[in-house]
Structure 1
């Protein structure tokens, strides 16, 4: 990943975290890493633990960032989420997977928050 892409991704994650805070979420963790991948943001609202994948683009020509979370990526995120729950001994917790797409334009940005973007299947 180029330095420019990394900066854009970090910028998008910051905008996503800011959005979540404004919507009443508490940020539990950012960039939780495990050998199999990473979860950009772990947030909590009421009794719901939310694993958030953030996708950022700088051009509409790249397509909608929220569509970039492929089934393979969903499976990877679900595995990392299970590791997070195990590491922090979290049991009997309602969880969901959200995607936040951020499109940066020359003078502003557009953010799309998709709640329940995908589900953790028992065989993951």
Structure 2
């Protein structure tokens, strides 16, 4: 497996662990629809939380969350819409979060950004 894929998988594991420790229930990981993929879909009370995990080994080129492009956001929204319309039987709020991780030999820094799309 390519090194960047391993780092991405480690990041998703760290994000899932973080979410569980903070009271979220993980519903689905790596949910796909058409060309979209959601890293983690979680739930906390009556809120479905769509989580994009961005993991980098260095902050030298910018924060991990800065690497989410408008096309990716559109695919995330369409994929989340499909999930909610087809797999959720109740009226729920949907929130989009980013878990940004920098993981390297110096340590691991994790930042959970709630309602992330409002911060762009």
TM-score by length of 2: 0.91
Distance, in Å, in 2 between the alignment partners of 1:91 and 1:83 is 14
Give aligned pairs, total: 118
The match for 1:76 is 75
How far apart are the structure 2 equivalents of 1:12 and 1:62? Answer: 18
Counterpart in 2 of 1:26?
25
Equivalent position SS for 1:16 = helix
Provide the secondary structure at the position in 1 that maps to 2:43: strand
Contact 1:49–1:93 under 8 Å retained in 2:
yes
Question: Which whole-Å CA distance do the structure 1 matches of 2:56 and 2:41 have between them?
Answer: 21
Structure 1 unmatched ranges of 5 or more: 120-124
1:76–1:105 CA distance, 2 compared to 1 (3 A): same
Instruction: Using the TM superposition, name which of 19-28 and 62-71 deviates more.
Output: 62-71
1:117 corresponds in structure 2 to: 116
- What's the C-alpha RMSD, in Å, of the aligned pairs? 1.4
Is the CA contact 1:13–1:40 (under 8 Å) kept in the aligned structure 2?
A: yes
Query: Whole-Å Cα distance in 2 between the matches of residues 19 and 117 of structure 1?
Result: 17
The SS at the match of 1:10 is helix
TM-score, normalising length: structure 1: 0.89
Please name the residue that 1:43 is paired with: 42
Question: Is the partner of 2:52 in helix, strand or coil?
Answer: strand
CA drift of 1:105 comes to 2.0
Q: Distance in 2 between matches of 1:90 and 1:55?
A: 30
User: What whole-Å deviation, never above 9, does each CA across 1:45-104 have from its counterpart, x for those lacking one?
Assistant: 111110000000001113100111122211110000011112214442111000110000
User: Does 2:84 align with 1:85?
Assistant: yes
